Amino acid sequence: MKFEVIHEENNAIVDALVDGVRQFNAGLLGPEKSVPLTVIARDENGKLIGGVGGRTIYKNFLINVVWVDDQTRGTGLGHKLMALAEAEAKQRGCQVAQVDTLSIQAPMFYEKQGFEIIGTVTTTPQRIFLMKKY
Nearest alpha-carbon partner for 95 in 86, 107, 108: 86
Q: Convert the pLDDT of each residue in 107-126 to its tens digit.
A: 999 999 999 999 999 999 99
Measured distance CA(25)–CA(32) in Å, rounded: 9
Measured distance CA(86)–CA(111) in Å, rounded: 14
Pairing state between β 60-68 and 35-42: unpaired
Average pLDDT, the chain: 95
Q: What pLDDT does residue 17 have?
A: 93
| CA 58 from centroid of its chain's CA atoms | 14
Q: Give how far Cα 47 sits from Cα of 38, 40, 50, 66, 124, Å.
A: 16, 10, 9, 16, 33
- What mean pLDDT do residues 25-35 have? 87
Q: Give how far Cα 95 sits from Cα of 8, 10, 60, 131, Å.
A: 35, 32, 6, 11
